[in-house]
Amino acid sequence: MDSSFQWPDNKRAAISLSFDDARLSQCDKGFALLASFGVKATFYVSFGALDKRLDQWKLAIEQGHEIGNHTVTHPCTANFPWGRSNALEEYTLERMEKELTGANERIQSLLGVTPATFAYPCGQKFVGRGEQTRSYIPLVAKHFKVGRGFRDEVPNDPTYCDPAQALGIDVDNRSFDDLLPLINQTIERGGWLILAGHEIGDAGPQTTLRDTLARLCEFCAEEKSGLWLDTVDRVGSHVIASRNI
Ligand SMILES: [Zn+2]
């Protein structure tokens, strides 16, 4: 690793917790758990669900959590049957840019904050198909500090990663013991691990398990772990600032 890069406060590596779609269980079960450890996370919100818990989301911002952009209408490939009416294959870059700026405007008017980071719905980064396919990563780079992917495989190398396509790893339905090798790899490499989940609870589909979250928070809180656990915005800002020195 580039020897000039350093994590703050003699930390050896960083982890960010992120959760998508403003699932109600994030408010109903997640906030209390995170608060009990004093941990700040990043929430890539979807409208509709967000509106159902607006007061709780405002409180979450006061408590230091980050609200990120996840588009207005969550377009993904139409290979998901539910994606057929809003398919990335039918999008243009112009239409996608409206999804990005439109979501920022709605979040600003509902919650009074402007997102600094973004999560690609379904982790997909294209519009169109075949020879007309375009990447929308440049739009994300234009409007945000960080764009988080999904179902990636390795932690980000802070000396090399492109913040506009930062790797995000699925944390749903994984035990802490299952995650531990990945966490150790992150520490060994001095990397930045971004975990991405959906529901927060004790069982069920697309659910980050409370036991896993609690053990992860405890692990990071131990001085000897050398881990900095913070939002995508705060860790990403450190990574970006380190390159501009
Ligand atoms: Zn999503």
124 CA distance to ligand 1 middle (Å): 10
- Residue 237 domain-assigned? yes
Å from CA of 37 to ligand 1 middle: 25
Instruction: Give the closest residue to 221 by CA, choosing from 26, 53, 40, 5.
Output: 40
- Give how many domains the chain has, as a whole number: 1
* pLDDT, position 96: 98
Please give the distance, rounded to the nearest whole angstrom, from the Cα atom of residue 199 to the centre of ligand 1.
11
CATH of the domain at 31: 3.20.20.370
**Residue 96 within a domain:** yes
Quick one: pLDDT at residue 245?
Answer: 60
The Cα 11–Cα 221 span in angstroms is 12
How many whole angstroms from 7 Cα to the centroid of ligand 1? Answer: 29
Cα-to-centroid distance, 5 and ligand 1 (Å):
32
Residue 2 lies in a domain: no
CA–CA distance, 190 with 182 (Å, rounded to integer): 12
d(CA 211, CA 208): 9
Q: Is residue 133 situated within a structural domain?
A: yes
CA of 35 to the centre of ligand 1 (A): 23
Q: How far is the CA of 34 from the centre of ligand 1 (A)?
A: 21
Q: Answer yes or no: is 19 within a domain.
A: yes
Residue with tokens 């036991």: 211
CA of 204 to the centre of ligand 1 (A): 17
- How far apart are the CA of 12 and the centre of ligand 1, in A? 30
Residue 226 belongs to a domain: yes
Distance from the alpha carbon of residue 241 to the mean position of ligand 1, in angstroms: 28
- Contact present, 74 and 86 (Cβ < 8 Å): yes
Rounded distance from Cα 44 to ligand 1 centre (Å): 8
Show pLDDT as tens, one digit a residue, over the chain (245 residues): 556 899 999 999 999 999 999 999 999 999 999 999 999 999 999 999 999 999 999 999 999 999 999 999 999 999 999 989 999 999 999 999 999 999 999 999 999 999 999 999 999 999 999 999 999 999 999 999 999 999 999 999 999 999 999 999 999 999 999 999 999 999 999 999 999 999 999 999 999 999 999 999 999 999 999 999 999 999 999 999 998 66
State the residue range of the domain holding 52: 8-243
Residue of 173, 176, 192, 185 lying closest to 230 (CA atoms): 192
Q: Is 231 exposed, middle or buried (0-12, 13-18, 19+ CB in 10 A)?
A: buried
Question: Per the domain annotation, does 3 fall within a domain?
Answer: no
Residues 157, 161, 163, CA angle at the centre, nearest 5°? 125
Dihedral-angle region of residue 73 (phi above 0 means left; psi in -120 to 50 means alpha; beta otherwise): alpha
Q: Establish how many alpha carbons lie within 13 A of residue 1's alpha carbon, considering only the half-sphere containing its beta carbon.
A: 19
Q: Of 225, 71, 96, 238, which is closest to residue 161 (Cα–Cα)?
A: 238
Residue 1 falls inside a structural domain: no
Render the burial of 146-180: b for 16+ CB within 10 Å, e for the rest. bbbbbebeebbbbeebebbbbbbbbbbbbebeebe
- The alpha carbon of 103 and the centre of ligand 1 are apart by a number of angstroms equal to 13
Distance, CA 122 to ligand 1 centroid (Å)?
Answer: 6
Report the separation in Å between the CA atom of 23 and the middle of ligand 1, taken as the mean of its atom positions. Answer: 9
Distance CA 180, CA 151 (A): 17
